[in-house]
Chain A
């Protein structure tokens, strides 16, 4: 069971690193957070898994996407994309 979860974590982490576009990376990161929570559960640490779920499944993608949005909007307003 632990091996299955570890394999999934390794695969999703590799996918997250291999993805270039930040918006798509946020999607992979969200899946990685969920898979990490499953790994913590198989390691008998559900309390760690709970906080990992809260942070990984919702908070990290939200922050990433908000940042991407802000960065993308700025050149349009200044009309001087460097």
Chain B
């Protein structure tokens, strides 16, 4: 068990555990936000796991999650729009804290990888993870008025 795996364990237990608590209890808006943040935290955990096991091909998992996580959240934002519009979620602090964790993870793994193609892939994954999360949380809080209804 090296330091990367330890960091992955900390991110997964602390972050995903908290997200799980958020998604299992409380009002619908908190559940939706927690589901969104869970994908980002799991993505960071997968990045750390790939580095910990020293298998760069495991990065594909984080890349796919970075692509599909926001899609899943947008599905919820679209189909639960009526419930969420009555009680829009606001979780700016939690969102930015999670984005901070993801950015720190990407930076650390980048520093360990060194320049090259692998680092480019890492940066793309991190950008997708963070950008997708920000777009999804904005959609959840009703930032895109035009896509509502129907």
Give the B-binding residues of A (Cβ under 8 A). Answer: 1, 4-5, 7-8, 11-12, 15, 18-19, 23-24, 26-28, 30-31, 34-35, 37-38, 41-42, 44, 46, 49-50, 53-54, 57-58, 61-62, 65-66, 69
Contacts and interface: CB of A to CB of B under 8 A. Distances in A.
27 contacts: A8-B16, A8-B17, A8-B20, A12-B24, A15-B20, A23-B80, A26-B76, A27-B23, A27-B34, A27-B76, A28-B23, A30-B35, A31-B19, A31-B35, A35-B16, A37-B42, A37-B61, A38-B16, A44-B53, A46-B57, A53-B68, A54-B68, A57-B39, A57-B65, A58-B75, A61-B72, A61-B76
Contact of A34 (B1, B31, B69): B69
A41 to B, nearest CB: 5
Interface of B: 1, 5, 8-9, 12-13, 16-17, 19-20, 23-24, 28, 31-32, 34-35, 38-39, 42, 45-46, 49, 52-53, 55, 57-58, 60-61, 64-65, 68-69, 71-72, 75-76, 79-80, 83
Given A24-B28, A27-B35, A28-B24, 9 more contacts: A8-B13, A12-B24, A15-B23, A27-B31, A34-B38, A34-B65, A35-B42, A57-B69, A62-B72
B68 A57 contact: yes
Given A34-B39, A34-B42, A1 B5 contact: yes
